[in-house]
């Protein structure tokens, strides 16, 4: 997941290095560092925005390591899902327990169904649905779609997934 963090550094040498070390120690991948040296907080500290990718499990270790070094954390904004995918389902979607279909994706812990549009033209005719799925990474999105295809096979639903180059897994 991607984390954007506003931290506050004391205006003495070596502080930035001290702040970034925990990110690399816990195998985070630094995306950007914006050092607002010209600004000062009312507390006299320098605001810095750090963006990095890390495994969700390591975030707490990074935070406590920063706190141990006496670095103030003003704001943490985590974006867990930054891959979005769409799929279309055709068949008897509602009667084959749509809740169960959605739950299977939501229960993975790495992907969620975030939007559902359903079209049911006539009773007993197959319905069509578009599902939007958010996932932690491209790989996770691909496995969520694979999982959906397995469930769909059991329920005799047709899954229309994005082309391979769209899923980015070429």
8-state DSSP, 95? T
Work out the end-to-end distance of the chain between its first and last CA atoms, rounded to an integer number of angstroms.
22
Shortest Å distance, C-beta 145 to other proteins: 11
> CA-based angle 128:142:127, to the nearest 5?
5
> CA-based angle 19:12:52, to the nearest 5?
20
Output 58 or 101, the one with its CB closest to other proteins: 101
Shortest Å distance, C-beta 119 to other proteins: 4
Output 12 or 163, the one with its CB closest to other proteins: 163
Site residues (CB under 8 A) for other proteins? Answer: 86-88, 90-91, 117, 119, 121, 126-130, 132, 158, 160-166, 170
List 72's β-bridge partners, or say none. Answer: 8
Shortest Å distance, C-beta 163 to other proteins: 5
12 φ, ψ (degrees, to nearest 5): -130, 155
Output 72 or 91, the one with its CB closest to other proteins: 91
């Amino acid at each position: 997941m991607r984390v954007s963090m506003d931290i506050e550094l004391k205006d003495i040498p070596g502080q930035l290095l001290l702040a970034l070390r925990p990110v690399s120690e816990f195998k985070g991948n630094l995306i950007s560092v914006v050092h607002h040296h010209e600004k000062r907080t009312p507390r006299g500290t320098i605001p810095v925005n750090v963006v990095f990718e890390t495994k969700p499990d390591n975030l707490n270790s990074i935070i406590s390591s920063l706190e141990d070094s006496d670095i103030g954390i003003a704001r943490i904004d985590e974006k867990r899902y930054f891959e979005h995918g769409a799929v279309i389902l055709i068949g008897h979607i509602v009667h084959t327990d749509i809740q169960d279909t959605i739950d299977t994706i939501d229960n993975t812990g790495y992907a969620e169904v975030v939007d559902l549009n359903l079209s049911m033209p006539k009773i007993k005719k197959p319905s069509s649905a578009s599902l939007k799925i958010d996932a932690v990474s491209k790989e996770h999105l691909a496995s969520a779609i694979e999982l959906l295809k397995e469930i769909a096979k059991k329920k005799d639903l047709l899954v229309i997934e994005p082309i391979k180059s769209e899923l980015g897994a070429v």
